Homo-oligomer: A and B are copies of this chain.
Amino acid sequence: MKKKSTARPGEPSLPLLRPLSTVDVAIFTVRADRLHVLLVQRNDEPGEPCPGQWALAGGFVDVDKDENLEACALRKLREKTGVTSPYLEQLGCWGGKSRDPRGWSVTHVYFALIPTDAATKPVSGANTTGAKWEPISKHGVKEALAFDHEQILTAAITRLRNKVEYTSLPAFLLPREFTLSELQHSYEIVLGRKLEKSAFRTRVLSTELVTPVPRFKEGPNRPAQLYRLKSANSPVFFQRTFKPAEG
């Protein structure tokens, strides 16, 4: 592996051994009124760690292709889903001696929200044999995941649910134009609970979150005003959570 020895006094000292560096992306979308995450199945070849197990989308940093960590995450997202402009946020990093049998490794984890209409068929890539959208239930996912990805996915879901209480993140799960009812529904799917219509609308409309477009969504009932996000990629923060819990 890596060397570039240190040891001469007064010379630049670099570590003899470098951890493995990967980037993983927890890619979320909504399908059939459920929150889903993209899983890829690991290669079955002998010598590969966690053969056949499901894992988050990800892989090694490529120091030639990738300008930086975020570009690496975007590349992986693009390779798996074809989506190029998602909501992408860094979740954190997990690194240590024993999370990968191949040695000391660090994964740099992002989470992405992609619109319902973009969540088409995921493609499998190198070192993987398949990919699928897995529904998320109350406490995560049914599959046992490779490496420490279960823990990472739990962290991602927790971050998402927490942030939804005071930000506009669910808007990034919707297509470009949506009604307020659809936005509310998106919140309800992620939060796993109903919200009150009047308060929801007051709150959303009192911010710089959305702006109406001159179109309506037609249906077997009264047409609904369509809106779009005011700024396409940065979320809005509210000053309160949706429902204060007990102190």
Interface residues of A (CB under 8 A from B): 1-4, 10-15, 17-22, 42-43, 45-49, 58-64, 66-69, 71, 90, 92-97, 102-104, 106, 108, 126-128, 206-208, 239-241, 244-245, 247
Q: How many copies does the complex hold?
A: 2
Interface centre among A1, A60, A62 (most CB of B within 10 A): A1
**CB-based nearest B residue for A48:** B12
Q: With the chains together, A48 CA to B11 CA distance in Å?
A: 7
With a CB–CB cut-off of 8 A, which chain B residues contact A241?
A: 239-240
Q: With the chains together, A18 CA to B16 CA distance in Å?
A: 11
**CB-based nearest B residue for A95:** B69
- In the assembled complex, how far is the CB of residue A148 from the closest CB belonging to chain B, in whole angstroms? 10
- In the assembled complex, how far is the CB of residue A94 from the closest CB belonging to chain B, in whole angstroms? 7
With a CB–CB cut-off of 8 A, which chain B residues contact A108?
A: 93, 95, 106
**CB-based nearest B residue for A5:** B60
B21, B48, B64, B90: which contacts A18 (Cβ < 8 A)? B21
- In the assembled complex, how far is the CB of residue A72 from the closest CB belonging to chain B, in whole angstroms? 8
Contact B15 A61 (CB under 8 A): yes
Contact B20 A64 (CB under 8 A): no
B19, B42, B46, B127: which contacts A13 (Cβ < 8 A)? B127
B69, B96, B97, B244: which contacts A239 (Cβ < 8 A)? B244
Q: With the chains together, A102 CA to B11 CA distance in Å?
A: 13
Contact B102 A12 (CB under 8 A): yes
Given A1-B59, A17-B63, A18-B18, A68-B95 contact (CB < 8 Å): yes
Given A102-B14, A241-B239, A60-B94 contact (CB < 8 Å): no
Given A92-B92, A241-B239, A1-B18 contact (CB < 8 Å): yes
Given A1-B18, A104-B61, A126-B1, A67-B96 contact (CB < 8 Å): yes
